[in-house]
Amino acid sequence: MLKKWFTIAAAVLLCGFLTVRAAQGKTLSALEAAQLRGAAEKGDAEAQWHVGVCYQFGFGVKKDLKQAVIWYRKSAEQGNAKAQFNLGCCYYRGEGVEKDFEQAVHWFRKAAEQGSDRALLWMGMCYGRGEGVEKDEKQAVYWLRRAAEKGEPWGQLNLGACLWRGAGIKKDPVEAVKWFRKAADKKNAMAQGCMGIAYMSGCGVEENPVEAVKYLRESVAGGCSKSQINLGWCHDFGFGVERDRKKAAEYFRKPAEEGVKEAQYKLAYHYLRGWGVEKNPVRAVELLRKSAAQGYSPAEFGLGWCYEFGWGVKKNIERAAMWYTQAANNDIDKDVVSPVEMERRRKIAEFALARVTYKIGVCHETGSDGKEKDVEAAAGYYHYAAALGYEPAKEALKRLGYY
């Protein structure tokens, strides 16, 4: 009996040793892989999870996502929280199984109920996005808080973001910064970027340019593209660092090349003005088009400006009006940009639209710029511009006897 106990104990210890190696991504020998699989086939839930890991990432076996799902399921159905979480991830991403958000949430929930910090995080993310469940920001906060309180850095970051925006919970920038700081202390690059923004804006903490730049640099070192944009802005305007527009342009360049719309817009502005780069309006327009294609309203406004004044493109006030209209009606960023900023963007775009609409009216009234002289058509454009509050249009309508 004692010998049998030692045999069982040895098998358990061997399985534990091999599964740790598999989880760490270390290469397994054929013998080790066979021993691990043997334990899994005998019903060891932990070994089954690790066999799934091996198949998912190709550790000691040929990568096979369908096999990974099979083994995760075996382990998950025995209540292994790690396998439940991994199976949820497979359903969420559609790896080895058809994508199914509801099934993903089903398995995330089971793992979360056992206290899995990553499962708690993903329950919060799914409720926040409305994936697999009806969108519910309060439920998102509930799950994110549980993840955050267990020390999960992404949970801390996302709970901070909810507090920062007032999503599912009363807006509280001070409390938001507390959670950002906890995640930043764990080297979470996005949280470091959020700390940089907080110190830039003086929201939740006292404004501190030096601290802002410190956090932004740490965030950039961690690979956060958004922080490169903010660090570029600091160099553009000498916030916490010596003003250096050449360096600012370099910070904008990498995220712009990666397709980040804000960076494309800012780098375009540098090419328009010749700030830190050789002036190149044509290149600026190329970047503005890429940014505008992603629905970035400042880039749409920028294209309107280029067409209105002939910068990098042939002057065309009708196309300018089209881009200004798009910018004025754009609300794509309403969930990530403050209402005050959204209203500022709209008013600027509407004023520019009123200005070019008035210019089109002038062309019709005078028969210039290829337009036939047509006072009635001119009055129509003047009326539209006047409705947007453009005073010269109102004066033109008085002159034509419409007021």
> Which of 90, 114, 138 represents a domain boundary (last residue)?
114
Output the pLDDT for position 20. 40
For 344-373, what is each residue's pLDDT tens digit?
999 999 999 999 999 999 999 999 988 999
> Which of 88, 114, 140 represents a domain boundary (last residue)?
114
Q: Is 4 contained in some domain?
A: no
- Tokens standing for 204? 């939740």
Output the pLDDT for position 309. 96
Number of domains in the chain: 2
> Which of 114, 146, 180 represents a domain boundary (last residue)?
114
Asked if residue 214 has pLDDT above 80, the reply is: yes
Helix ranges (DSSP H) in 97-172: 101-113, 117-129, 137-149, 153-165
Tell me the three state secondary structure of residue 337: coil
Output the pLDDT for position 15. 38
CATH number of the domain encompassing residue 402: 1.25.40
What pTM, to 2 d.p., does this model score?
0.81
Asked if residue 19 has pLDDT above 80, the reply is: no
Residues spanned by the domain of 381: 295-403
**Is-contact 265 298, C-beta < 8 A?**
yes
Output the pLDDT for position 30. 64
Q: Is 269 contained in some domain?
A: no
What's CA 202's distance to the chain center, in Å? 22
Output the pLDDT for position 229. 95
Cα gap 386→326, rounded to integer Å: 19
Indicate the pLDDT class of residue 95, thresholds 50, 70 and 90.
very high
Asked if residue 140 has pLDDT above 80, the reply is: yes
Q: Is 41 contained in some domain?
A: yes
Asked if residue 3 has pLDDT above 60, the reply is: no
Q: Is 186 contained in some domain?
A: no
Q: Is 357 contained in some domain?
A: yes
Name the residue among 169, 276, 296 with its Cα closest to residue 233: 276
The four Cα atoms 180, 183, 188, 189 give a dihedral, to 10 degrees, of 10
Residue 244 has, within 13 A of its CA and on its CB side, a CA count of: 9
Q: Is 378 contained in some domain?
A: yes
CATH number of the domain encompassing residue 24: 1.25.40.10
Q: Is 245 contained in some domain?
A: no
Instruction: Give the pLDDT mean for 103-124.
Output: 98
**Is-contact 224 189, C-beta < 8 A?**
yes
For 258-286, what is each residue's pLDDT tens digit?
999 999 999 999 999 999 999 999 999 99
Q: Is 47 contained in some domain?
A: yes
